[in-house]
Structure 1
């Protein structure tokens, strides 16, 4: 199909320890990622990056939401060491329950 535009979508890439957001005309270009460290029952978000060519399109927010929704679905506790993920949770308090209560103050949540 020519001229088709794929909606951006997020995929977990466990072999790379990161969620990737794919965008672009054919939906196969890696527009950004959120690196994580997975340990028993917890997912620690370390670093999030969006390619400058895709900046300002809301992809960081979509990446954060989908990664956190996946963590919730998997029953994982979230440790937002990454400033972007931490800031996103701060703006979306309905996700704060993913962060262990005893550690929220440490993350400013």
Structure 2
């Protein structure tokens, strides 16, 4: 598996991760001091490899670095935070 680096594409309002020629994204909207995660998409070709978890972990770490509060409209992001209590302090 060719593992890429998570990028914050602010122009598209997406965190992106390219793996084996496929792009996974976590879409968001910034609203003042918060970031609203709206949806996560992982292409079928790279599902089941922890791609979404790596993507969301990096996105949440970036939110923490920028002192943003997180609104998890995306079910995957909400479930990830539930499974990883170290991120619960970010939730608004």
State TM-score, norm by structure 2. 0.94
Q: Distance in 1 between matches of 2:3 and 2:22?
A: 13
1:87 and 2:79 are equivalent in the alignment: yes
* 1:42 matched to 2:42: no
Partner of 2:11: 15
TM-score (norm 1): 0.80
Structure 2, unpaired ranges of 5+? none
**Contiguous gaps of at least 5 residues in structure 1:** 101-109
How many residues align structurally? 92
Runs of 4+ in 1 over 3 A off after TM superposition: none
1:48–1:82 contact (8 Å) kept in structure 2:
yes
Larger radius of gyration: 1
